[in-house]
Structure 1
Amino acid sequence: MERHLLMQLLADDNDDVSAADLAALRGGATHFVWDWTVPAEQSAWGYATRLRYLRRKDIEARGLDRAAQLLGRHDQPVRYGQITAADRTWVFTLFLTENGGALVACAGVRQAGE
């Protein structure tokens, strides 16, 4: 997915994590979007589990709880994307509609040692 299209999807979302994703892209972050999709309910379960793990390890995360809730209500497959901040302090996961035309949710995790 081209950077400007991803930036538009993030700009259209009214969420703090989307704003952080957008700022990272503007700051030179790398990004990619996978071609494959995953059932949204599988993603919701996986990211709810990941959030519990991150909390136990006291790793800062943004938006994982909201992402799990939104994915749990989304009844179509989702496409994953990832944005890695230029300074590598944050990695953001994006969940897009199957065709990549809309943002379903996004979340970020602070990277260890940063």
Structure 2
Amino acid sequence: MTRDDLCEMLSEQTPACGPAREALLSGGAFDVWEGLVPVGQLFHTYRVRHRVAQRHGQPTLGLDETLGILDAAEDEVLRIGSIRTADGPWAFVLFFNAAATTVLACAGVARTSHDGH
């Protein structure tokens, strides 16, 4: 997948898609991981991450909408990817269909100084 391909896939699925696209256009790094993950597992993992972010006051973008999309996806298996802004303040997680031809959802999390990056 090219940077241009990914930019085209990011439309208005969630409020994080525009900033993720801008991060790509500004030279942010991206990756699409091998392997598929059941959507139920992803929903549970990101619901917990959302609660932790809220508890710690960590800004998120599009995470509520992403959880709704994952919840509605039921028994699907998805591919995951990521985008990191070139200057480091945001990390985006992307949820693709199994063939990685469509972005179903995108969520952003503000990176903190203690998350190791």
TM-score category of the 2 structures, normalised to the smaller one: over 0.9
User: Are 1:76 and 2:70 matched, yes or no?
Assistant: no
What TM-score, normalized by structure 2, do the two folds share? 0.91
Unaligned runs of 5+ in 1: none
Q: Which has the higher helix share?
A: 1
Greater RCO between the two (CA within 8 Å, min separation 6)? Answer: 2
SS of residue matched to 2:33: strand
Describe the superposition over 1:74-99 as per-residue Cα deviations: whole angstroms up to 9, x where unpaired.
Answer: 13111000000000110000000000
Alignment of 1:33-112 (within 5 A): 33-74=32-73, 75-112=75-112
Aligned residues: 113
Bigger shift: residues 19-28 or 62-71: 62-71
CA displacement, residues 15-35 of structure 1 (integer Å, 9 cap, x when unaligned)? 421001000001110000001
Deviation larger for 84-93 or 1-10: 1-10
Task: Using the TM superposition, give the Cα deviation of residue 14 of structure 1 relative to its aligned residue in structure 2, in angstroms.
Answer: 5.0
1:42 shift after superposition: 1.1
Identity of aligned residues (%): 31
| Cα deviation digits, residues 3-54 of structure 1 (max 9, x gap) | 11111100x3354210010000011100000011101111011101110001
3-state SS of 1:81 partner: strand
